Amino acid sequence: MLEIDHASKLFNPGTPDEKVALMNVRLKLNPGDFVTVIGSNGAGKSTLMNIISGVMKPDIGEVRIGGNAIQELPEHARSRWIGRVFQDPMAGTAPTMSIEENLAMAYRRGEKRGLGRGVNASRRKLFREQLSRLGIGLEERLGAKAGLLSGGERQALSLLMATFTQPRILLLDEHTAALDPARAALITSLTEEIVRETKLTTLMVTHNMEQAIRLGNRLIMMDKGRIILDVPESRKSSLTVPQLLGEFERISGSALSDDRIVLG
């Protein structure tokens, strides 16, 4: 489904500020894989998401979806295949647009006609049905401005907008990290439900070690621009947080330095 082939990315090459963000990364996700991603500060997790979504290009290497190389395509041209939810609840929705206008915009993602706000009766019915799946009453507030929603409600809307057009890949970039524990738990369970129902191929960056182990069918660990461990489902299900941290230290030679780490 998604293949990353020998991708490398260097920032400020040849200068004293040179930073290795990705170094010869190879990753293959099978259809329906739900992969959690953990790693130390500056390990390259966001850069990995960025080269998949098209925010930036790798210096070398290929990114393929369904066998087609997409690394030269701009972000907007990939958007129909890739849904992404960011850490910041403000990032995924337009605050001055209503809930239904936001959904209409997501519905047209990747279409040539661009960003339309039009909502007709059948589309409104579809939006209401989709929103009711979230179970938080947003279907009764179609005309409310997204900017007036709470962080958790906006993140739930972002998750729906990223997934309801059936992209090929879902990227979750610490999407529960900015929420309080109750709202984070709600968004986590909505994520599990949506991914299970839609069978979306998903890559989720998290600083929560317990979540990284419990969610999904595979876990990858990054350090200094490399994938240093790829844990299959058979091992992941019996893994504990101390074992995971121990594995990191054993392979990388130092303890996991993550200033936002949540153990569980």
Ligand X SMILES: Nc1ncnc2c1ncn2[C@@H]1O[C@H](COP(=O)(O)OP(=O)(O)OP(=O)(O)O)[C@@H](O)[C@H]1O
User: With binding defined as CB under 6 A, does residue 224 bind ligand X?
Assistant: no
Smaller CB separation from ligand X, 98 or 176: 176
Single out the residue of 42, 109, 145, 228 in contact with ligand X (rule: CB under 6 A).
Answer: 42
Distance CA 76, CA 205 (A): 22
User: With binding defined as CB under 6 A, does residue 208 bind ligand X?
Assistant: no
Single out the residue of 45, 84, 154, 218 in contact with ligand X (rule: CB under 6 A).
Answer: 45
Single out the residue of 4, 29, 36, 39 in contact with ligand X (rule: CB under 6 A).
Answer: 39
What long-range pairs does 256-262 form, CB within 8 A, spacing at least 24? 256/38, 256/39, 256/40, 257/40, 257/41, 258/38, 258/39, 258/40, 258/41, 258/207, 259/41, 260/174, 260/177, 260/207, 261/207, 261/209, 262/207, 262/208, 262/209, 262/210, 262/211
Smaller CB separation from ligand X, 11 or 95: 11
Q: Residue 130 CB, nearest distance to ligand X (Å)? A: 30
Binding-site size, ligand X (CB under 6 A): 12
Please calculate the CA angle 173-179-180 and round it to the nearest 5 degrees. 145
Single out the residue of 24, 41, 132, 189 in contact with ligand X (rule: CB under 6 A).
Answer: 41
Smaller CB separation from ligand X, 56 or 144: 56
Distance CA 196, CA 72 (A): 31
Taking each helix axis as running N to C, give the angle between helix 99-107 and helix 121-132, from 0 to 180 degrees, rounded to the nearest 10. Answer: 100
Beta bridge partners of 202: 34, 170
Smaller CB separation from ligand X, 73 or 177: 177
Single out the residue of 19, 57, 124, 133 in contact with ligand X (rule: CB under 6 A).
Answer: 19
Smaller CB separation from ligand X, 186 or 244: 244
Q: Which residues bind ligand X (CB under 6 A)?
A: 11-12, 19, 21, 39, 41-47
